[in-house]
Amino acid sequence: MKIGKKTFKLADAYRVNHGKSFRLKDFDPAATRGLHSREEAIAMVQQSIAMLQDLQEKLYAQDEWSLLLIFQAMDAAGKDGVIKHVMSGVNPQACQVYSFKQPSTEELDHDFLWRTNKCLPERGRIGIFNRSYYEEVLVVRVHPEFLHKQHLPQHLIGKKIWQERFEDIRNLESHLTRNGTVIRKFFLNVSKDEQKRRFLQRLDEPEKNWKFSEADVRERECWPDYMHAYEEMIQGTATPDAPWYVVPADHKWYMHTVVSSAIIETLESLDLALPKVDRERRKELDAARAALEKNSKAQQKHRG
């Protein structure tokens, strides 16, 4: 199936550049706009995997930009699957994936951006954060006991702490952008009903039992608090340079297509190209070829 270039604009409808007027209720987790079938989506993801391979090679060879992809979601939204599918064609050497779980004692002894800063992608690479510093305004906000574990001086924990964290995150992301790191953030927007269906599947299907976690079910009870935290997080941190994509996640095939479209569009906008070989370099390459040939001729003579 041939997929038109227009379809690669699929992600635009879910991109939030300015948080101010963002409302989560305007985004339908079950949307499949722009695609007619699962088959069409699968064909499109296949095609984008090939495009991504090519773009990533140029990104690596050019060695100027880096791309940071951040994934946030409720449990069972399919973060792992997106990362696996969308990045399946990418050279593993040029891609760095980090998962951020509960912070260690050492991590808690530093500022909240410390642990992720150490994992930012090098130039020429694609870095993937499976959860990120955004947990600091999500799980930490929903469960204030996590904030208390951070040993912050008491008078720094004021009413505005979340707004302050949004500001710190915006400043970090603008600093990174100015230094050649392109940032794209994905909220995989699964509905509460679909999450329940997936949890039940994990209980019903023996090969999925290992994925079931009681803790995930407990988190589900805080659903409204999480949605409130997500909404304010996007309002406070969506910017034209570091936009959020609020990706419909109830249909995994659609979610994969939207995420891969967003990545392709982003990389294409960078006008990546293999480094040009100028005259000087051409001479060096010709000299290297001559030396190689001379060397192998000498070896042949020696053997003969």
| Binding-site ranges for ligand ATP (CB under 6 A) | 75, 80, 99-103, 131, 135-136, 139-140, 146
Give the residue closest to ligand ATP by C-beta. Answer: 135
Q: Which is nearer to ligand ATP, 110 or 282 (CB)?
A: 110
Q: Under the phi-then-psi rule, with left for phi > 0, alpha for psi from -120 to 50, and beta for the rest, what region is 156?
A: alpha
For the bound state, the minimum distance from the C-beta of residue 290 to ligand ATP, rounded and expressed in Å, comes to 55
> Which residue type is seen at 140?
V
For the bound state, the minimum distance from the C-beta of residue 165 to ligand ATP, rounded and expressed in Å, comes to 11
Q: Which is nearer to ligand ATP, 57 or 75 (CB)?
A: 75
For the bound state, the minimum distance from the C-beta of residue 33 to ligand ATP, rounded and expressed in Å, comes to 27
Of 133, 134, 102, the C-alpha closest to 118 is 133
For the bound state, the minimum distance from the C-beta of residue 260 to ligand ATP, rounded and expressed in Å, comes to 20
For the bound state, the minimum distance from the C-beta of residue 300 to ligand ATP, rounded and expressed in Å, comes to 57
- Tell me how many degrees the CA angle 164-167-173 measures, rounded to the nearest 5: 145
């593993």: which residue's tokens?
A: 92
Q: Which is nearer to ligand ATP, 16 or 188 (CB)?
A: 188
In the Cβ-directed half-sphere of 131, how many Cα atoms lie within 13 Å? 15
d(CA 45, CA 257): 6
Q: Which is nearer to ligand ATP, 81 or 89 (CB)?
A: 81
Can you read off the two tokens belonging to residue 148? 């208390």
Can you read off the two tokens belonging to residue 239? 């910017």
Q: Which is nearer to ligand ATP, 61 or 161 (CB)?
A: 161
Of 223, 235, 157, the C-alpha closest to 193 is 223
